[in-house]
Amino acid sequence: MHLEKRILITGGAGFLGSHLCDMMLERGHRVLCVDNFFTGTQQNVDHLRDNPRFELMRHDITFPLYVEVDEIYNLACPASPIHYQRDPVQTTKVSVLGAINVLGLAKRTKAKVFQASTSEVYGDPSVHPQTEDYWGNVNPIGVRSCYDEGKRCAETLFFDYRRQHHLSIKVARIFNTYGPRMHPNDGRVVSSFIVQALRGEDITMYGTGQQTRSFCFVSDLLDGFVRLMDSPDDVIGPINIGNPSEFTMIELADLVIELTGSRSKVRHLPLPQDDPRQRKPDITKARDLLGWEPRIALREGLQRTIAYFDRQLTAAGT
């Protein structure tokens, strides 16, 4: 039995955050879920409302938070280009000011603090697959920079707080993740392809479809988070958490069409600015230091995700 802790999860009503709330409650902890509902939804955590160990607080993490906690998972930030480009200044603020505020809270409460960083810190990589010691190839003034550079600055802050204030920190770099509770209109490729296929619409393919991504199912990713948080203090990160199986966008579209039984056709559109050509994690560190690697294959994960979106669309009557 784990010792009960009070755990703060910022962005806790989002896709990843809500699943992490579930996991922490299942492990016997108390959970303070903080979200401003910019992309998160109350629906994602409605099933937890009656749990006496769960608390939901509406709060914007760009403002300080005064609570008593034992551990912090900082997940607050829109993660899809459609959402983070809607208000790019706020995206940078939530990455940078949000990091300052959770680090200040961790310093005061002596809490261990986890940063959900991103593979976007590598930009459009010139090294493949990406290892944690690769410094990245990021455009500092492009339309994706608010997210890419915001997350890079957050990592800087985490490491400086550790060096300057001896904080206990953990930093994970998340690669493409998918699963139930993804936002249906977030513009991310898995959710977009599934929703379009279920509706019988054309599947929107940017560029030739030969660009690659690596897709990690949400339960695998969160297993990596918890293993990193529970690891010895000298295991800090950054550590890549993602699935090293690489797929082209055409392969993904074909698999979604097959699994949904859809008659959708693929429609090609111009590639967005600074869209990475390839993305694949080197997870050697995660394997060696955490004993972690993903277990759920893309086909199985897509089947679960399609079933979720099918229920959502049916309930919405679309």
Q: Among the options 147, 178, 206, 308, which is catalytic?
A: 147
CA distance 165 to 112: 12
CA distance 129 to 181: 28
The question of whether 147 is a catalytic residue gets the answer: yes
In contact, 181 and 126? CB cutoff 8 Å: no
CA distance 11 to 27: 19
* Residue 285 identity: K
Judged by DSSP in three states, 179 sits in: coil
In contact, 253 and 213? CB cutoff 8 Å: no
**Which tokens is 222 given?**
């969160």
Which residues are identified as catalytic? 147
